Structure 1
Amino acid sequence: MNETISQWIARDPDPKTQQELQTLLDAGDDAALADRFSQRLAFGTAGLRGVVGAGPNRMNRLVIQETATGLGHYLLSQIEEADHRGVVIGYDGRLDSKQFAQDAASALTALGIKVFLTHKVAPTPLVAFGVKQLGAAAGIVVTASHNPPEYNGFKVYWENGAQIIAPHDSGIAAEIDKAAQQPLNLMTLEQAEHQGLLAWLGDDYYQAYLDAQFANPLLQNNTQPEAVALAYTAMHGVGAEMAESMLKRVGFTQVHSVAAQREPDGTFPTVNFPNPEEAGAMDLVIAEAKKHNALLACANDPDADRFAVAVRDIHGEYRMLTGDQVGILFGNYLLNVAQGTNENLVGTTIVSSSLLEKIALAHNAKFYQTLTGFKWLTNVAMEKQTQDSQFLFAYEEALGYTVGNKVWDKDGLTALVAFAQMTAELAAKGQNIWSQLEAIYRQHGFYLNAQRSIALQPDSPAIGSILRASPPSRIAGVDIVQTDDLQSLERSFSGELANKPAETIDLPASDVLIYHLANGVRVVVRPSGTEPKVKCYYEVVEQMLEDESYEEAKQRAEAQMTALIDAHQASL
Structure 2
Amino acid sequence: MTDAVLNEKIEEWLKWDKNPKTKAEIENLVNEQNYGELKSRLLERMEFGTAGLRSRMGAGYTMMNDLTIIQTGQGFLEYLKEQFGLDLHKYGIIIGYDARHNSNRFAKLTANIFLRENVPVYLFRQITPTPFVPYGILKYKCCAGIMVTASHNPKEDNGYKVYFNNGAQIIPPHDQGIAGSILKNLEPKIESWNIDCVDSHPLRKDPYDEVYQSYFEDLKNLSHRRENNSKTSLKITYTAMHGVGHQFSIESFKSFNLNPFIPVVEQVQPDPEFPTVKFPNPEEGKSSLNLAIKTANENDSTLIVANDPDADRLAIAEKLPNGEWKIFNGNEIATLLGWWIWFNYKQENPNTNEYKDVYMLYSTVSSHILKSIAQKEGFNCEDTLTGFKWMGNRAHELLNQNKKVIFCFEEAIGFMCGSRVLDKDGISAEAVCSELAVFLKEVENKSLIEKLDWIYDTYGYHVSNNSYYLCYEQHNIVSMFEKIRHHDPQNEDYTYPEYCGRFKIDKIRDLTAGLVVDFKDDGKRSTPNFPTSKSSQMITFYFENGCVLTIRTSGTEPKIKWYSEIKETDKSKSREEIKNELDELVQSMIAEFYKPEVHNLKARST
Decide: shared fold, TM above 0.5: yes
| TM-fit CA distance, 1:504 | 5.9
- Displacement of 1:72 after TM fit? 0.7
Bigger mean CA offset, 529-538 vs 243-252: 529-538
1:20 CA displacement = 1.8
Change (3 A) 1:171 1:353: same
Shift of 1:236: 0.4
Q: Are 1:355 and 2:369 matched, yes or no?
A: yes
Alignment match, 1:302: 309
Gaps of 5+ in 2: 1-5, 488-492, 594-606
In the alignment, is residue 410 of structure 1 matched against residue 435 of structure 2? no
Residue aligning to 1:465: 485
Contact in 1 for aligned 2:237/2:295 (Cα 8 Å): yes
Q: What SS does the corresponding residue of 1:376 show, helix, strand or coil?
A: helix
- Counterpart CA distance in 2 for 1:471 and 1:6 is 48
Q: 1:280 to 1:455 in 2, by over 3 A?
A: closer
Paired with 1:17 and 1:73, the residues of 2 have a C-alpha distance of 26
Q: Distance between the aligned counterparts of 2:558 and 2:269, measured in 1?
A: 36
Say whether 1:52 aligns with 2:57. Answer: yes
User: Alignment partner for residue 508 of structure 1, among 517, 531, 555?
Assistant: 531
Structure 1 letter corresponding to 2:547: V
> In the alignment, which residue of structure 1 is the partner of 2:604?
none
Report SS of the residue matched to 1:144: coil
Look up the SS of the partner of 1:54 in the other structure: coil
Q: Which residue type is aligned with residue 564 of structure 1?
A: L
The CA distance in 1 between the partners of 2:60 and 2:442, in whole Å, is 57
Structure 1 residue identity aligned to 2:475: D
Q: CA offset at residue 35 of structure 1?
A: 2.1
Greater displacement, 185-194 / 80-89: 185-194
Higher mean Cα deviation, 59-68 or 183-192? 183-192
Which residue of structure 1 aligns with residue 384 of structure 2?
370
What is the number of residues matched between the two proteins?
A: 563
1:286 is matched with which residue: 263, 285, 293? 293
The aligned residue for residue 446 of structure 1 is: 461
- Give the share of equivalent positions with the same residue, in percent: 33
Match of 1:86 in 2: 92
Deviation at 1:502, TM superposition (A): 7.6
Indicate the residue corresponding to 2:118 in structure 1: 112
Which amino acid in the other structure matches residue 274 of structure 2? F
Per-residue Cα deviation, 1:167-217 (whole angstroms, up to 9, x for no partner): 111111111112213535438556456552211223233112111222x2x
> Does the C-alpha gap of structure 1 residues 500 and 357 become closer, same or farther in structure 2, counting only changes over 3 Å?
farther
Which of the residues 394, 400, 425 maps onto 2:414? 400
Kept in 2, the 8 Å contact 1:71–1:175? The answer is: yes
Residue 240 of structure 1 aligns with which residue?
246
Deviations 1:476-511 (A, max 9, x none): 42333333343566655444xx49998764321245
Asked if 1:4 is matched to 2:9, the reply is: yes
Task: From the superposition, tell whether residues 472 and 132 of structure 1 become closer, same or farther in structure 2 (CA, over 3 Å).
Answer: same
Q: Contact (CA 8 Å) 1:41, 1:56: kept in 2 or not? A: yes
Normalised by the length of structure 1, the TM-score is 0.92
Q: What do residues 394-442 of structure 1 show as CA deviations (whole Å, max 9, x unaligned)?
A: 1001010011111011100001000001111111221121111001111
Which of residues 322, 329, 339 is equivalent to 1:322?
Answer: 329
C-alpha distance 544-426 of structure 1, shift in aligned 2 (>3 A):
farther
SS of the residue 1:409 aligns to: coil
Unaligned regions of 5+ residues in structure 1, if any?
Answer: none
Q: Determine the structure 1 residue equivalent to 2:439.
A: 425
1:178 lines up with 2:184 in the alignment: yes
CA contact (8 A) 2:243 2:271 kept: yes
**C-alpha displacement of 1:122:** 0.6
2:225 aligned to 216, 221, 224, which one?
221
1:22 aligns with 2:24: no
Asked if the contact 1:455/1:532 (under 8 Å) is kept, the reply is yes
Distance of aligned partners of 1:454 and 1:253 in 2 relative to their CA distance in 1, 3 Å threshold: closer
Mean Cα deviation higher: 498-507 or 58-67:
498-507
Higher alpha-carbon deviation: 526-535 or 373-382: 526-535
State the distance in 2 between where 1:402 and 1:55 align: 36
Give the structure-2-normalised TM-score. 0.87
Higher mean alpha-carbon deviation, 446-455 vs 312-321, is at 446-455
Superimposed CA distance per residue, residues 55-98 of structure 1 (whole angstroms, 9 cap, x where no aligned partner): 21111111111111111111011014112211101100012111
Match of 2:103 in 1: 97
